[in-house]
Amino acid sequence: MADTRETMRVEVSGSDLAGDYVLDERLDDGSLVLRPEHPGEGQRYTAVLSRGEDGIVCAQVVEAPEAISQGLTPEEAKANVSEALELALEWRRAEGEAVPKPTQVSLLSLGVETPTS
């Protein structure tokens, strides 16, 4: 049986996400769900960065919540959470725990009503 996967080269300006991806799914809204063609070669995980009231940037990996760190700048927080992720994955392997796979992440903006005083 012939391989009918559609692959594409993705180039993202100013990003390290460039690479070959396999089309997983075409959504009704026209967007594409892609996954890395060679997932064993440098998994890409998603980190959420948020700045606290004190100005410190907190970073946490979505797929491995135990990988959490902070920094004075987004760049420092990214470097620190990358190290935390490496340690978390190392710990999971040593303990025989499942190593998480990168997931598709949707970003939402949520609003809540705040009571007036």
- 58-111, pLDDT tens digit by residue? 999 988 999 999 999 988 998 999 999 999 999 998 999 988 887 766 666 678
Look up the domain containing 18 and give its range.
1-44
- 15-39, pLDDT tens digit by residue? 455 566 666 667 776 666 666 665 5
Q: Are residues 94 and 53 in the same domain?
A: yes
Closest CA to 44 of 82, 90, 94: 82
The Cα–Cα gap between 88 and 10 comes to 29
Within a domain: 115:
no
Q: Are residues 33 and 3 in the same domain?
A: yes
What would the two tokens of residue 9 be? 């080269």
- pLDDT score at 72: 95
Within a domain: 110:
no
Q: In terms of pTM, does the model score above 0.75?
A: no
